């Protein structure tokens, strides 16, 4: 069986539970009110070439609704572990509108990079959380850049300034915005190479991503993540 078909491992009542959860997430996302400036909107809707959307792991809740509103149904592929547990997440991704790509995601190894490179070469967009799936929070592994360098593809960095939100008791204090809350999103476009022809570094990507996520720089500097209201 192909890894991408492992979604079929989730059946019966388990699939029903995921379907109900996905229904809740979609309804929750549609209640949110986004503020986005003209430049960010232009970057988010860029469609002349495949792009890699890059965001911190604790902002993943926003992505299904962001892509639905601003990508016009264009598929976005996200990396999911090839393990048996990954079948749950792969099934959930499909239910909320994200196409799963199966591969080992730990430390962004060769298997993960190869899988995403092939997706971009097929003309599709991908999503990357450079500090996922287990952290450390607000870090960028150099391997993340392999995918965009091999495909000479740009990155669109996603930033979010939250209003009221819960924080989970996870390693990254995952954000769950309150239903019907308003928040600001920012998108920064990074080309595959800098104007002088040199390659982007992991630290440059990290600095740019921290700059458009207002809560992140202080937490990264202190080595602590503000827990906020936790659930």
**Average pLDDT along the chain, 231 residues, taken 10 residues at a time:** 46 86 95 96 92 95 92 83 74 88 65 87 93 88 87 95 94 95 95 87 95 80 53 51
Report residue 6: phi and psi, to 5°: -65, -10
pTM: 0.86
Strand-pairing partners, residue 33, are 182
pLDDT at 4: 44
pLDDT at 210: 96
Burial class (CB in 10 A: 0-12, 13-18, 19+), 58: buried
Cis peptide bond N-terminal to 177, omega within 30: no
């Amino acid at each position: 069986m192909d890894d991408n078909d492992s979604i079929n491992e989730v059946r019966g009542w388990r699939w029903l539970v995921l379907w109900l959860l996905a229904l809740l997430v979609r309804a929750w996302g549609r209640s949110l009110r986004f503020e986005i400036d003209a430049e960010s909107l232009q970057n988010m809707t860029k469609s002349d070439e495949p792009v890699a959307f890059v965001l911190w792991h604790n902002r993943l809740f926003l992505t299904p609704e962001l892509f639905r509103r601003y990508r016009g149904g264009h598929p976005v592929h996200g990396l999911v572990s090839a393990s048996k547990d990954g079948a749950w997440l792969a099934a959930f991704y499909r239910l909320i509108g994200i196409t799963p790509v199966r591969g080992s995601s730990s430390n962004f190894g060769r298997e993960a990079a190869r899988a995403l490179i092939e997706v971009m070469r097929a003309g599709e967009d991908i999503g990357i959380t450079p500090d996922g799936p287990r952290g450390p929070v607000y870090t960028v592994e150099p391997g993340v850049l392999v995918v965009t360098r091999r495909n000479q593809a740009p990155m669109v960095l996603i930033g979010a300034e939250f209003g009221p939100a819960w924080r989970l008791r996870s390693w990254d204090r995952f954000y769950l915005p309150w239903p019907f809350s308003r928040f600001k999103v920012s998108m920064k476009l990074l080309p595959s190479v800098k104007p002088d022809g040199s390659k982007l570094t992991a630290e440059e990507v990290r600095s740019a991503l921290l700059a458009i996520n207002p809560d992140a720089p202080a937490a990264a500097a202190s080595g602590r993540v503000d827990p906020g209201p936790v659930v």
